[in-house]
């Protein structure tokens, strides 16, 4: 596959090498500290633990990052309640170890990954992405993770694999929100295979250089920055390659309001509210929502010739 | 106790101001969360709905308790409801849309939940304007007819809430259930039931003394 260099990254946005190296030294130091802690059998899986050996990515963003506190206390994760403060309040009951992720379906190499194996599958890098919620608010979040394609490549999809389905953990004892029938559990999301293979599509395991907090989808979650936030499935236990488009949780819940693609698109309104503008958390004035959340240069070609009013 | 503090109206007014005080204190202390404008919008909207339901519960409460004098507090409750509706509306116009007339007009026409909420707000205005004693006297029987709009306004308020939530309908349905109850007890057999309830639970003498002659008057 031909990967075009995205053309909206200014040289000024790339970290100067001396700072980069300094950061690496710091990370190595922290890594050594973390290794020391690991010898003392301290769990490395806890939120807030610094992730070792995180590379600075070339994909950056010249926009102010949303404070850690806001990213971790204001979000949607219906498995822990429908209020935006609920995940931070209730996600403590989620156990992220032991954890495994099954990669299955139309692949030559199906495999069940232990989460700690998965964390070492590919180099971790920091990606600062915009996050646009379908409700009309947005954030700028420095994720840590690796491209989903690293897993796809190893799984070797067969010719029948046209779509990828992501399934979130289904365990009402750990996820109290699942005791309510607000959605059809487990939470299911999906991407077309080429969307899943896109270099921007990330499997995130961290936030602000640290282990992902439970409420943000620990231990591993998807991040698809040009789609509305709900497409980025959290606390994933299964990645399944299929031939037909998966029926996602929100398509089941409200088929007229949520389509399979759910690309950020200021021209296609939600049936009940406008998507033309968004409130960036921390800002007073609303800002215009950008086509594909500002990632059009990288992803627009995926949808060439498609009527995006129809395939919303 | 100083004289003003002996008046129930002063206490009720202070209680009615608590939601606003809470918002102000949270605002000063940075406690409105990551999305303060959304917080203020939801909070003022919630208290408008609560105000509507509390105002609508005055009449059933009078029938249930036999305390006809409760009517004296209804106007103030209604006006506080209007006050929170104004705050809710101003939050939307100012903080949320920042006086963008095109966006607001489009919202009102295109978004059913905004259309319904805006209509409810407009309908509240004549009720607030005609809430004075002078207006009651001037309008006579038509005053009561006009103020029956409150039933429609409360219904629109609940629909406004029901249509704006993304998925979890629990809370709007609770408001809907309370409103349904408050409307049902106004039906003839509802009123009979309430009166039966009163004779059951309230000593006959107390019920008779408070309710009897006075509720036979125009306050009914």
- Which pLDDT does position A16 carry in this prediction? 47
Chain centroid to CA A28: 25
- Which pLDDT does position A47 carry in this prediction? 82
| Residues A107-140 pLDDT 10s | 999 999 999 999 999 999 999 999 999 999 999 9
Chain A residue with CA closest to B169: the answer is A182
Chain centroid to CA B119: 15
What is the spatial distance between Cα A277 and Cα A102, in angstroms, rounded to a whole number?
38
The distance of A258 to chain B (nearest Cα, Å) reads 11
Splitting chain B (220 residues) into consecutive groups of 10 residues, what average pLDDT does each group show?
Answer: 79 96 94 93 97 96 89 95 98 88 87 94 97 94 95 97 88 96 90 78 50 38
Contacts of B106 in chain A (CB under 8 A): 274
- Asked if A256 has any chain B CB less than 8 Å from its own CB, the reply is no
Percent of chain A with pLDDT strictly greater than 90: 77
- Asked if A180 has any chain B CB less than 8 Å from its own CB, the reply is yes
Q: Which pTM does this prediction carry?
A: 0.81
Candidates B34, B95, B110; nearest CB to A70: B34
- Which pLDDT does position A246 carry in this prediction? 96
List of residues 6+ apart from A197 with CB closer than 8 A: A1, A148, A149, A152
The distance of B100 to chain A (nearest Cα, Å) reads 11
Here the tokens at position A35 are: 């290794």
| Residues A253-284 pLDDT 10s | 999 999 999 999 999 999 888 899 999 999 98
CB atoms A279 and B33 under 8 Å? no
Which residues face A55 on adjacent strands? A125
Q: How many residues does chain B have?
A: 220
What is the spatial distance between Cα A38 and Cα B207, in angstroms, rounded to a whole number?
74
What is the spatial distance between Cα A123 and Cα A144, in angstroms, rounded to a whole number?
10
- Asked if A82 has any chain B CB less than 8 Å from its own CB, the reply is yes
Candidates B34, B95, B96; nearest CB to A74: B34
Candidates A85, A253, A282; nearest CB to B167: A253
| Residues A284-307 pLDDT 10s | 889 999 999 999 999 999 999 998
What is the spatial distance between Cα B67 and Cα A154, in angstroms, rounded to a whole number?
77
Contacts of A78 in chain B (CB under 8 A): 167
Instruction: Please count the other Cβ atoms lying within 10 Å of the Cβ belonging to residue A285.
Output: 8
What is the spatial distance between Cα A230 and Cα A253, in angstroms, rounded to a whole number?
13
Beta carbons of B182 and B53 less than 8 angstroms apart:
yes
Complex confidence, ipTM: 0.75
What is the spatial distance between Cα B88 and Cα B38, in angstroms, rounded to a whole number?
11
User: Phi then psi for A143, rounded to 5 degrees?
Assistant: -85, 160
* Domain locations in chain B as residue ranges: 3-204
Here the tokens at position B1 are: 């106790």
List of residues 6+ apart from A205 with CB closer than 8 A: A51, A118, A119, A124, A144, A145, A211, A212, A218, A219, A220
The distance of A64 to chain B (nearest Cα, Å) reads 15
- Which pLDDT does position A192 carry in this prediction? 98
Candidates B35, B103, B110; nearest CB to A74: B35
Q: How far is CA A308 from CA A131, A268, B220, in A?
A: 20, 8, 59
- Which pLDDT does position B35 carry in this prediction? 93
CB atoms A272 and B164 under 8 Å? yes
Q: For residues B196 and A155, which has the higher predicted lDDT (pLDDT)?
A: A155
CB atoms B35 and A286 under 8 Å? no
Candidates A78, A180, A281; nearest CB to B34: A281
- Which pLDDT does position B216 carry in this prediction? 37
Beta carbons of A34 and A44 less than 8 angstroms apart:
yes
**Selection from A81, A36, A306 nearest residue A182 by Cα:** A81
* Domain locations in chain A as residue ranges: 11-303
CB atoms A78 and B167 under 8 Å? yes
Provide CATH code, domain A11-303.
3.90.420.10
Q: How far apart are the first and last CA of chain A?
A: 26
- Which pLDDT does position A279 carry in this prediction? 95
What is the spatial distance between Cα A298 and Cα A115, in angstroms, rounded to a whole number?
30
What is the spatial distance between Cα B97 and Cα A33, in angstroms, rounded to a whole number?
49
What is the spatial distance between Cα A293 and Cα A228, in angstroms, rounded to a whole number?
9
- Asked if A272 has any chain B CB less than 8 Å from its own CB, the reply is yes
CA dihedral (B184, B188, B194, B195) in degrees, to 10, reads: 170
Q: How far is CA A39 from CA A42, A206, A221, in A?
A: 7, 22, 27
Which residues face A202 on adjacent strands? A147, A223
What is the spatial distance between Cα A201 and Cα A192, in angstroms, rounded to a whole number?
12
The distance of B164 to chain A (nearest Cα, Å) reads 7
| Residues A27-83 pLDDT 10s | 555 555 555 444 443 445 788 899 988 998 878 899 999 999 999 999 999 999 999
Q: What is the mean pLDDT of residues A172-200?
A: 96
What is the spatial distance between Cα B115 and Cα A116, in angstroms, rounded to a whole number?
52
Which residues face A164 on adjacent strands? A191, A241
């Amino acid at each position: 596959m031909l990967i075009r260099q995205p053309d909206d990254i200014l040289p000024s946005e790339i970290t100067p090498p001396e700072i980069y190296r300094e950061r690496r030294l710091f990370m190595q130091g922290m890594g050594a500290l973390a290794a020391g802690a690991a010898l003392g059998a301290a769990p490395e899986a806890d939120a807030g633990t610094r992730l070792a050996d995180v590379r600075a990515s070339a994909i950056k963003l010249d926009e102010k990052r949303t404070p850690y506190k806001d990213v971790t206390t204001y979000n949607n994760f219906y498995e822990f309640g429908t209020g935006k403060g609920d995940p931070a309040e209730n996600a403590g009951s989620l156990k992220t170890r032991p954890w495994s992720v099954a990669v299955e379906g139309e692949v030559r190499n199906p495999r069940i990954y232990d989460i700690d194996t998965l964390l070492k599958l590919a180099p971790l890098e920091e990606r600062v992405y915009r996050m646009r919620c379908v409700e009309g608010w947005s954030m700028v979040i420095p994720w840590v993770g690796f491209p989903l394609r690293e897993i796809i490549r190893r799984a070797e999809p067969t010719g029948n694999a046209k779509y990828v389905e992501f399934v979130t953990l289904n365990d009402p004892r750990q996820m109290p929100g699942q005791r309510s029938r607000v959605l059809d559990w487990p939470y299911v999301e999906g991407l077309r295979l080429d969307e899943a293979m896109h270099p921007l599509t990330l499997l995130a395991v961290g936030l602000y250089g640290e282990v992902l907090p439970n409420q943000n989808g620990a231990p591993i979650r998807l991040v698809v920055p040009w789609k509305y936030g709900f497409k980025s499935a959290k606390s994933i236990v299964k990645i399944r390659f299929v031939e037909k488009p998966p029926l996602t949780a929100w398509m089941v819940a409200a088929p007229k309001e949520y389509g399979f693609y759910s690309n950020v698109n200021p021209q296609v309104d939600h049936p009940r509210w406008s998507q033309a503008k968004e409130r960036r958390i921390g800002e007073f004035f609303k800002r215009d929502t950008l086509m594909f959340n500002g990632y059009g240069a990288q992803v627009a070609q995926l949808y060439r010739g498609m009527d995006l009013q129809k395939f919303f | 106790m100083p004289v003003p503090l002996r008046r129930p109206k002063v206490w009720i007014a202070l209680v009615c101001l608590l939601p606003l005080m809470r918002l102000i204190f949270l605002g000063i202390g940075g406690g409105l969360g990551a999305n303060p404008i959304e917080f203020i919008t939801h909070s003022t909207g919630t208290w408008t709905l609560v105000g509507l339901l509390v105002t609508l519960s005055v009449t059933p409460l009078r029938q249930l308790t036999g305390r006809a004098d409760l009517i004296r507090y209804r106007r103030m409750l209604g006006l506080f409801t209007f006050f929170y509706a104004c705050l809710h509306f101003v939050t939307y116009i100012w903080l949320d849309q920042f006086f963008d007339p095109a966006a607001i007009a489009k919202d009102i026409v295109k978004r059913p939940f905004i259309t319904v909420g805006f209509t409810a707000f407009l309908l509240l205005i004549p009720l607030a304007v005609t809430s004075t004693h002078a207006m009651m006297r001037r309008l006579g029987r038509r005053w009561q007819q006009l103020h029956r709009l409150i039933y429609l306004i409360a219904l629109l308020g609940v629909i406004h809430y029901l249509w704006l939530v993304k998925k979890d309908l629990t809370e709007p349905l609770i408001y809907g259930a309370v409103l349904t109850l408050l409307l049902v007890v106004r039906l003839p057999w509802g009123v009979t039931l309430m009166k039966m309830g009163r004779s059951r639970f309230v000593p006959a003498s107390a019920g008779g003394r408070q309710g009897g002659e006075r509720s036979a008057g125009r306050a009914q």
